[in-house]
Amino acid sequence: MSLFLFLSFVALLSALGVVLAKNPVHSVLFLILTFFTLSAHYLMLNAQFLAAVNIIVYAGAIMVLFLFVIMFLNLNEDTEPHKPALAQIAATIAGGSLLLIMVAALHNVQPVGYDPATFDSQVGMVDRLGMVLFKQYSLPFELASILLLAAMVGSVMLGKRETGERNF
Amino acid sequence: MSLESLGWQGLVILVVFGVSLLIATYCTYAERVIAAFLQDRVGPDRAGPFGLAQPLADAVKLFTKEEFFPSGANKALFIFGPCLAMITALMSSAVIPFGSFLKFGTTIVHLQGIEINVGMLYVFGIVSLGVYGIMIGGWASNNKFSLLGAIRAASQNISYELAMGLALIAVLMMSGSLSLRDITLQQSVPGEWQFWNIVKQPLGFIIFIVCAFAETNRTPFDLPECETELVGGYHTEYSSMKMGLYLFAEYVNVFVASAVMSVIYFGGFNFPFQYELRGWLSSSQGLSLDAAQNIVAILGVVSVFAKIFAFIFFFMWVRWTLPRFRYDQLMRLGWTILIPLAIFNILLTGGLITTGIIPEIKHWW
């Protein structure tokens, strides 16, 4: 329980850091820390596969690209555009009402406990997840994989050198 | 897990940590000796017998050098970069099985930091984080050469991770397990012929080793620190031990990459006729079964380190043999050659498994 509280504390703190940091690079680094704490939460739920994939995909690949782009843009406090007051007020109201809806939807929720007699400790393991994906959800899974493969083939095609094109 | 075996496991973790650092230290020496040998020079021979104290002398030199912070650098991230590079390099050796197990009475000590169900994904995740140390350090230096090096490192790592993952998927299809211990044990079955994965996955291994060179930023893919174009690449502005940590992290990465290749493709701690040797020791030499197992386990550790050293030598051999690629050639190789080849390898493996040419895996242990 204390580990959960600590992780949640770090997660919330680093998530706030993403929004409040003045430097975009610091924001990205806070976001990576947030992903790590989320992965730790997955581990506490015994979902090893999800934790590892979360690190590989989000922290390892997507955030590297974020950092990459932000480093190229050379954003800092001087170049930050100052938004008009109207936009700021509108954003505050929109964000606040989203928070209100979340709180309203969740404040009555009873935490679902588990029954120790029927609890399956293997539920988040790789082989169990594979069984579910390939038996229960095989069509959506295959469709998603075709989508990803198409994206990858597309990127390779874009990178291919046309005939007569210069080397660089 | 009892308290005693927990203590043993802690000891194993400390030993793995120490050995990774020791090997990385002596890699700096080995690199110079091998470079000298390949270029027909003498190499370091002044500090201690055969120059063996050279790494210590280097460490003293690096520690006593001036600490320099470039103007306009982001100081916190400038210090954080090399730390991160070192941390991520050292983390991945935790799941590598360096030996089967030792048995003392009822206590069984597995010669592996931690055994987890998703070992391969763990290594892959840590490897993909390795680029952050370089990116943060390069950006925080406030130097355009450093930034260019960092950006090269980022795009190179992302590109080669894909092919590396696809090469591993083919191994995964055969093994049916993500645990590195399972993958090792499957490569040697008592009482029958069983080949190491290199025989079943030659193409996958070639893709993997090329990607390993790119991921560890070793020549011919050391574009992030290409000194003819970028002064020193991402560590241009670094001095003193922070520079040392970057160089050191590279050698730890080389060690880990060699260990992963030995485990996944070259049988890990298995060596030919190990079960016959164990049977012979316990039946005709009068040793107890536990003692025979311990001897075989220790020989297994020797065999996995022999494979690792062979790969480290290969890394250095290539460094002093091949010239550096051009950056666009590097990207073209990754995206238009290695990835299609890796996908073809997956199809091939799938076909061979379906037709039964690659036999089904056995969970014999």
Q: Do B128 and A64 touch (CB under 8 A)?
A: yes
Look at A3 and B107; give whichever has higher pLDDT.
Answer: A3
Percentage of chain A lying above the pLDDT 70 cut = 89
Sort out which chain B residues have CB atoms less than 8 A from A125's CB and list them. 117
In this prediction, residue B364 carries a pLDDT of 67
pTM greater than 0.80:
yes
Dist CA A27 CA A22 (whole Å): 8
Dist CA B253 CA A54 (whole Å): 22
Residue B111 has which token pair?
């010669």
Interface list for B 162-181 with A (CB within 8 A): 162, 178
Instruction: Please give the biggest Cα pair distance in chain A.
Output: 69
CA distances from A119 to A116, A136, B98 (A): 5, 20, 35
| Range from A29-43, A79-93, B142-156, B235-249 that averages highest in pLDDT | A29-43
Closest residue in A to B326 (Cα–Cα): A168
Answer for the pair B127, B161: CB distance below 8 angstroms, yes or no.
yes
Dist CA A116 CA B54 (whole Å): 59
Sort out which chain A residues have CB atoms less than 8 A from B340's CB and list them. 156
Give per-residue pLDDT as tens, A115-128. 777 777 777 777 78
Sort out which chain A residues have CB atoms less than 8 A from B128's CB and list them. 55-56, 59-61, 64
Of A56, A64, A168, the CB nearest to B131: A64
- Smallest CA-to-CA distance from B134 within B230, B63, B210 is with B230
B363 phi, psi to nearest 5 deg: -90, 80
Dist CA A14 CA B74 (whole Å): 19
Q: Dihedral angle at the C-alpha atoms of B63, B64, B66, B72, nearest 10 degrees? A: 20
- Is residue A129 helix, strand or coil? helix
Amino acid at B60: V
In this prediction, residue A168 carries a pLDDT of 53
Q: Do A67 and B336 touch (CB under 8 A)?
A: no
Closest chain A C-alpha to B125 CA, distance in angstroms:
5
In this prediction, residue B57 carries a pLDDT of 87
Of B121, B157, B332, the CB nearest to A52: B121
- Smallest CA-to-CA distance from B251 within B69, B93, B48, B40 is with B93
Of B125, B150, B332, the CB nearest to A71: B150
CA distances from B127 to A59, A60, B86, B121, B133 (A): 11, 8, 12, 10, 11
* Band of pLDDT at residue A98, cut at 50, 70 and 90: very high
Give CA angle at B203 (B197, B205), nearest 5°: 55
- Is residue B109 helix, strand or coil? strand
Dist CA B95 CA B78 (whole Å): 30
**Quick one: B221 exposed, middle or buried, by C-beta within 10 A (0-12, 13-18, 19+)?**
buried
Of A52, A64, A168, the CB nearest to B154: A64
In this prediction, residue B193 carries a pLDDT of 75
Dist CA A105 CA A99 (whole Å): 10
Closest chain B C-alpha to A68 CA, distance in angstroms:
6
The residues of chain B scoring below 50 in pLDDT are none
ipTM of the complex model: 0.79
Dist CA B213 CA B226 (whole Å): 15
B192 phi, psi to nearest 5 deg: -150, 165
Residue B11 has which token pair?
């000891």
In this prediction, residue A166 carries a pLDDT of 64
Is the pLDDT at A167 greater than 60? The verdict is: no
Closest residue in A to B151 (Cα–Cα): A68
Is the pLDDT at A47 greater than 60? The verdict is: yes
Of A71, A125, A167, the CB nearest to B147: A71
Q: Do A56 and B158 touch (CB under 8 A)?
A: no
Per-residue DSSP letter, A118: T
Give per-residue pLDDT as tens, B262-315. 998 988 888 888 777 777 877 777 777 788 888 888 888 899 999 999 999 999
B111 phi, psi to nearest 5 deg: -85, 65
Closest residue in B to A161 (Cα–Cα): B332
Give per-residue pLDDT as tens, B263-274. 989 888 888 887
